[in-house]
Structure 1
Amino acid sequence: MPDTIIYLLPHMSAFLLVVFRMAGIFMLAPMFGSNLLPVQVKALLSVVLAFCVYPILPAQPPVELSLMTLPITIGSEMLIGLIIGFGASLPLIAMQLGGLMMGQQLGLGFAQVLNPEFGENTDVFGQMLFLTALTVFILMNGHHALLTTLVHSFSSVPLGGYMPGADVLQVMTGLLASMFELAVRVAAPLLCLVFLETIAMGFIARTVPQLNILSLGFPLRIIMGLMLVIALIIPMHEALIISIRDTLSVLYKLFGP
């Protein structure tokens, strides 16, 4: 027994850092970071994944932990998982943001539903597009790609040796810009339709003042908007797939071997 303890002691600090790097992905990543998963389950899954990954890790330099360096080292390890998880969630957030803009223009912004993924109320349209994006993410094996990127990060970023640089800032800035671009692309057709519908209703109100434009325009806007969304399902689906694929590829290049 003493020999076993002596053998395991050098591995304890390294294993602890592996656990915290795994734990980072359970905070913001799609599906893994869902508020539907209790904190205890996330902690258990982090330890289980660490047990599975640690034996196959490449040789790591010895990690010396002290009371002074322990918080910084743990924080740097969790930051890797946070960056990967947050970056992977941006296409899904973009779809939710696009749906929010669409719902506001259709007058559905007053109807709020609970988003269990984030534990907050959101627009009905935004929730619908977010759940659709999450389904596409899972069908594309995005969760597998996240774990692959995280495991391969041990080859490029040794334990206890990560300090974010300008490359990380540049990549995250680019991913955020792509997120807003996707959100605008998703919502732009409906925004244009609502703009044209508003102009048409204005002309009708001037030519036929007897009509109640408010009672006529509101349901007409919703019907036209829903028909447009149905017609654009395939283009939105293709744009989402490209965005998820590009995002996962960028994250893999950032942390992969």
Structure 2
Amino acid sequence: MELLAYLTEGNVANFLLLLLRFSGIIAFFPFFENQLLNMQIKGILIFWLTVLFIPIVEVIPPADMTILEFIVAGLSEIMLGFLASMALQIVFGMISFGGELISFAMGLTIANAYDPVTGTQKPIVGQLLTLLALLIMLALDYHHLFFYFVSSSIQEIPLGSFMFSDNYIQYIIKSFSNLFLIGLTMAFPIIALILLSDIIFGMIMKAHPQFNLLAIGFPVKITIAFAVLIVIIPAVMIHFKREFLSAFDALTILFQ
């Protein structure tokens, strides 16, 4: 009987809107949008998170909400998850872009492999850096930050009333410009050394025409690139850690 008394129109609308908010977040947030996670598992996770967080929902939608108004409110909840995830996905885009530049400089652009995270083909170096970044993200207590963001969004943004601000648009535009700049900065040491090795090989071929560049040059360039990559990976991951935490802090713009 208590359950039936709880199933009022306002509480049911609350539950459905919170379910849609979790659906948008789980569908687009890093790690949770992993293609290796079964859809049934995602569905169960969304349902149980909704059950756990429904007690902290205070604002109840009006009982006379029409179907059209409810659909618009549901779309705003999904938009919240999409826009919030965009700030975090841009940080992973920096790592992926830097890895693609490194693969291009090493001559491994054709050597693509299936990426189980995104379900697409990626260069090997870019996939390696992305997986390392994912491990760093989990080491930063990403699940705790995730729960904190959800609880803050429920308290600050009433269900069905999300509207993004101009400040968030400006932040996304600035982040997109930093994506290419930071990605190039990460790959620059390897690109510079490989360019220097190309100049040296060109001078050797000029002095010794019998020098076989295809047999000697490419293995040497790949070896140099991997040696430098091992050296700069700690700095790249430290930079990723700083950018990731900064992006998570910037999500508070959505609450303004």
SS at match of 2:176: helix
Q: Residues 103 and 123 of structure 2 are in contact (CA less than 8 Å); yes or no, is this contact kept in structure 1?
A: yes
SS at match of 2:7: helix
The residue number in structure 1 matching 2:148 is: 148
Using the TM superposition, name which of 91-100 and 63-72 deviates more.
63-72
Distance 1:78 1:217 in 2: 51
Amino acid at match of 2:150: L
Normalised to the residue count of structure 2, the TM-score between the two structures is 0.93
Q: 5+ unaligned residues in a row in structure 2: which ranges?
A: none
CA drift of 1:4 comes to 4.7
Q: Equivalences for 1:1-257 in 2 at 5 Å?
A: 1=1, 4-9=3-8, 10-57=10-57, 59-63=58-62, 64-251=64-251, 253-255=252-254
- Which aligned runs of 4 or more in structure 1 are off by greater than 6 angstroms? none
Distance 1:178 1:247 in 2: 12
Q: Percent identical across equivalent pairs?
A: 25
Distance 2:118 2:44 in 1: 20
Distance 1:5 1:153 in 2: 28
Distance 2:236 2:37 in 1: 29
CA drift of 1:256 comes to 5.2
Amino acid at match of 2:7: L
Distance 1:65 1:205 in 2: 77
| RMSD of aligned Cα (Å) | 1.7
Distance 2:220 2:141 in 1: 39
Distance 1:6 1:233 in 2: 57
CA drift of 1:130 comes to 0.4
CA drift of 1:163 comes to 1.8
Amino acid at match of 2:178: S
CA drift of 1:62 comes to 2.6
SS at match of 1:60: coil
CA drift of 1:153 comes to 0.8
Residues 70-111 of structure 1, C-alpha deviations (whole Å, 9 max, x = no match): 322111001111222232222222212211110111011111
CA drift of 1:6 comes to 4.5
Q: Residues 114 and 121 of structure 1 are in contact (CA less than 8 Å); yes or no, is this contact kept in structure 2?
A: yes
SS at match of 1:37: coil
Distance 1:143 1:255 in 2: 19
Paired residue total = 254
CA drift of 1:7 comes to 3.6
Q: Residues 13 and 61 of structure 2 are in contact (CA less than 8 Å); yes or no, is this contact kept in structure 1?
A: no
Q: 5+ unaligned residues in a row in structure 1: which ranges?
A: none
Amino acid at match of 1:110: I
SS at match of 2:122: strand
Normalised to the residue count of structure 1, the TM-score between the two structures is 0.92
